[in-house]
Amino acid sequence: MKLKLLRIVGARPQFMQAKPLTQELKKRGHQEILLHTGQHYDDRMSQQFFRDLNLSKADINLGVGSANHGEQTASMIQGIEKHLLENKYDAVVVDGDTNSTLAGALAASKLHVPVVHVEAGMRSFDKKMPEEINRVLTDHVSKLLFCPSSVSQNNLAQENIVKGVYLSGDLLAQCFYKFQKEALARVEQNLQQYNLKQNEYVLLTLHRAENVDNQKRLYDYLKVIATSPWTVVFPVHPRTYKKLVEFNLEHIIQQKPFQLIPPVGYLDMLALESSAIKILTDSGGVQREAFYWHKQGVILRDNTEWTEIVDSGWASLYLPGNDSCDLWKICDANLLTDQQFYGSTDVAQKIVDIMEANLL
């Protein structure tokens, strides 16, 4: 017997995590239908990742686009539910903590289709974050839960979720190491294109609602980042730029040290990360990639679900006004732990083994 799975994606890390699992499923002859919610709808935020990763075009694209959380999630649920009513699947596979994740989990669980949650058990312990709500609710309706680390596995145990929980490692790490050489081959091209020098610029990403929808917080972040002693390369998320215009703040990023560039694809983003002296981000995916590159990071939030990275010293949390964090300090890398917290080499193989054992 072979599995028939519906895989739901909608945002940057989910495209990357789809790659190794899709390959493993295909190798074993299982059928995977890829549903793209359209949560990231800009070509450079979506289709470019499909091209870089050599992923087949999504079988279904709901084209939901941006909206308020309730409206966006409701539209996704409606589209996913319609598809599930018309087609039979052994399970629905969701990743991470986006609105696409929650929509897929809710639609499937209400129709009694098993939910498989990749990247389960992550907790920031901050219920003000929409992503935290998405994570918790998805975990509580899932049949199989794949944890990146022992910390995330323990988080689930604290919530009395122990059945169907497995320590798998991080699919994003597996994808990272698979494409690392290809990314490095693009470094020189990117440095020339943007007139940069290796280890002489900071890379910035900023897109989370709690940061860019809050005019004061966004202004405070930009003002302190403007003190950078290095060029700040800023691939601006479309949603972020919309808010910069709305709040009349775009003039700040149109002067030094900021260097605005359009959103970039997966391989070019990895190349830019690899050459940065420091990475400032509010992205869960980028903070992990910084760690995998052994680049020092600043997480532009007051908490993170990837707690091991902060505890190891490779990244620090930062909110404007946090005088205890020296934003521009470069630590001696020899003093930082080289420990790998997240398994990275055979993650997809482990996940498919367990799905075969439990779903066939």
Cβ neighbours of residue 311 closer than 8 Å, sequence gap 6 or more: none
Q: Hunting for tokens 């039979």 — which residue is that?
A: 88
Bridge partners (DSSP) of residue 260 are: 234
Cβ neighbours of residue 110 closer than 8 Å, sequence gap 6 or more: 81
State both tokens at 145. 């839960």
329 CB-contact burial (10 Å; exposed 0-12 / middle 13-18 / buried 19+): exposed
Q: Are strands 60-61 and 278-281 parallel, antiparallel or unpaired?
A: unpaired
Q: Is 237 a catalytic residue?
A: no
DSSP 111-130: TT--EEEETTT-----TTSH
DSSP 36-51: E--SS-SGGGTHHHHH
| Cα–Cα distance list, 87 to 83, 91, 156 (Å) | 6, 11, 31
Residue type, 344: S
Residue type, 262: P
Q: Of 40, 117, 207, 237, which one is the catalytic site residue?
A: 207
Q: Would you name the residues annotated as active-site residues? A: 207
